[in-house]
Every structure is written in C-alpha cells, then in structure tokens.
Amino acid sequence: MRIFDPHIHMTSRTTDDYRAMYDAGVRALVEPSFWLGQPRTSPASFFDYFDALLGWEPFRASQYGIAHHCTLALNPKEANDPRCTPVLDALPRYLVKDSVVAVGEIGYDSMTPAEDTALAAQLQLAADHALPALVHTPHRDKLAGLHRTIDVIRESDLSPELVLLDHLNETTVTDALDSGCWAGFSIYPDTKMDEDRMITVLRNHGTDRILVNSAADWGKSDPLKTRKVADTMLKAGFDEDDVDKVLWRNPVAFYGQSGRLQLDTAAPGPLHEGNSILRGGE
C-alpha cells in the first residue's frame, strides 16, 4: 500500500514518526507552513522556518525514504499581526523553489479584514506562480467561514480545481465539492474527523477530488491516521483501488498541478552505521 499524506507538520515530529510512517506505507508527504503554537514576532522567524521546510526537513524525510514537499504562506492567524505581514512581500522569492507545490496554508481563522487581505493577496500569488493553493477552513464558525472562503476564491484569478479546501467535515463537504474545489479531511484522535466518520463521507460523496490527511503537528495528533483510514476503508468494503485513489492518486493529481512533484525519491543520502540525524555530530 502506498500512501501520500497531503498535510502533515513534520517539523514537530520525531524520526520515530518518520520510521513508523514509512513502515505504514507513507512514501510522500506535503508539509504546509503554519502556526507553530508560539506566535512569531518578526518576518525573519518565518524565513528561517521556510528555509527549514526547503532544506533540513526534506533531508530528514529522505533518510527514511519519504519524498517531502511543502506549501509556503503567511498563515491566517499570524496574518493578523502587523509585525508578520511583511512576509507577504518576501513570498515571491520562495514560491519559485523546486519543492514548493502550493501556496498554503491560507484561509480564515477569525475572519478579520487582515485575513481577507492576506487570503486575497496569496490567492493572487498562487495564480501568478501557476501554483495550487491549500486553504484552511476555520475551526470556529466553520460553515460561514467556508462560504466566505468560496466567495473569495470565486473572485480570484485562481480556478477552483487548483484549490484544496481542508479540514472539512460532514457540514461543509457538500458545499466544498459543489464549488469545484478539492476536499481535504484531517483525521484526528479526538477532534475534526475520525476514521469511521470518514468512511461515511466517502460512501455518501464518492472518492473523486477527496483527500485524507493526518494534519499531525505539535498537538494531540497521529501521523499514522492516513493508514488507519486506508485499513478502515478496506474493512468497510472499499477495494484496494479506492484506497490507492484516495490515499495516493488524488493527492498526486492535486499537487501535481504544480508541475513540481518529485516522487522518485533518491536513495537515502550517504550514511554510515548511524546517520547525521544523530545528535552530537561533533
């Protein structure tokens, strides 16, 4: 079984997670830039984070046989802090990088005017760079947030087939799919969605344009949720082709629109008996 996790924050995870993900079948992932839990106070902190998503994190992933790509953006929560908004001006030089396969996560958190501005500006950046966009839907007031998000996308230069609406649930899936966008579901231990509810969504809406991710980060989350959904699908009567479509071909088709997916991962780098991820390199 091959699995592509289209949304996971590996910066917050350990090498044990990489190993377990590989053992579970994960061969590729996309790491969206997002909030780190601790608010940042300057653009420089973002740039170091972006550089890590373009350098160190793909290196770590490659040592476990997993292809790492990223999406870069100013996230909606921090778009409200004027100390961070100059990140928008620096994004063009980052969006030309090889492993950037979308602009994201963008979208709404509290639906403020500052978030309106950042969302519209970054949808335009995606259109200008011929990149898809990964759009986070808000945790609070989700359905209203989704409708407002879809309105802004319709007004933008970006076609809906280049947009992935993420963190959807039973109340937002129909409108999201009707908009022409792709639909992402984050499977969490307690919140967002769980495996059984995901099966119901797949039964009701089919497997077209639907992606499943773990969205694992620094909070209570599980980087193996993609595999658990796959196993639950098989138990529920879906066949292996359905699983491959949802867990591999759909994310490949969506992010492949960037023209930058590299899934033929090179063999892990030059390693000796240990590896350079071991602490105390010198």
Identified binder of other proteins from the candidate list 23, 42, 93, 147, rule CB under 8 A: 93
Identified binder of other proteins from the candidate list 33, 99, 122, 221, rule CB under 8 A: 99
Question: Dihedrals φ, ψ of 134, to 5°?
Answer: -100, 115
In the chain, DSSP assigns E strands to 3-5, 26-32, 67-72, 100-107, 133-136, 163-166, 182-186, 210-213
Segment contacting other proteins by CB under 8 A, of 1-9, 140-148, 231-239, 255-263: 255-263
Number of residues that bind other proteins (CB under 8 A): 24
Segment contacting other proteins by CB under 8 A, of 3-11, 51-59, 76-84, 245-253: 51-59
Q: Is 259 in the site for other proteins (CB under 8 A)?
A: yes
Choice between 50 and 108, CB closer to other proteins: 50
Choice between 96 and 113, CB closer to other proteins: 96
**Cβ 275 to other proteins shortest distance, Å:** 7
Q: Is 59 in the site for other proteins (CB under 8 A)?
A: yes
* Dihedral over Cα of 268, 273, 278, 282: its sign: negative
**Cβ 15 to other proteins shortest distance, Å:** 12
Identified binder of other proteins from the candidate list 98, 151, 170, 208, rule CB under 8 A: 98
Give helix 142-155 / helix 113-128 axis angle, nearest 10°. 40
Q: Is 262 in the site for other proteins (CB under 8 A)?
A: yes
- Separation CA 49–CA 98 (nearest Å): 16
Segment contacting other proteins by CB under 8 A, of 53-61, 141-149, 201-209, 227-235: 53-61
Query: DSSP letter string over 164-176?
Result: EEES--TTTHHHH
Identified binder of other proteins from the candidate list 24, 54, 153, 163, rule CB under 8 A: 54
Q: Nearest to residue 148, comparing CAs of 192, 106, 103, 111?
A: 111
- Whether 10 and 61 have beta carbons less than 8 Å apart is answered as yes
- Separation CA 212–CA 161 (nearest Å): 17
Choice between 82 and 270, CB closer to other proteins: 270
- Whether 243 and 234 have beta carbons less than 8 Å apart is answered as yes
Q: Is 270 in the site for other proteins (CB under 8 A)?
A: yes
CB 63: neighbour CB atoms within 10 A? 17
Segment contacting other proteins by CB under 8 A, of 13-21, 95-103, 150-158, 212-220: 95-103
Q: Is 44 in the site for other proteins (CB under 8 A)?
A: no
Token output for 275? 């590896």
**Cβ 259 to other proteins shortest distance, Å:** 7
CB 47: neighbour CB atoms within 10 A? 14
Half-sphere exposure of 83 (CA within 13 A, CB side): 7
Q: Is 58 in the site for other proteins (CB under 8 A)?
A: yes
The site for other proteins (CB under 8 A) is made up of 54-56, 58-59, 93, 96-99, 259-260, 262, 269-277, 281-282
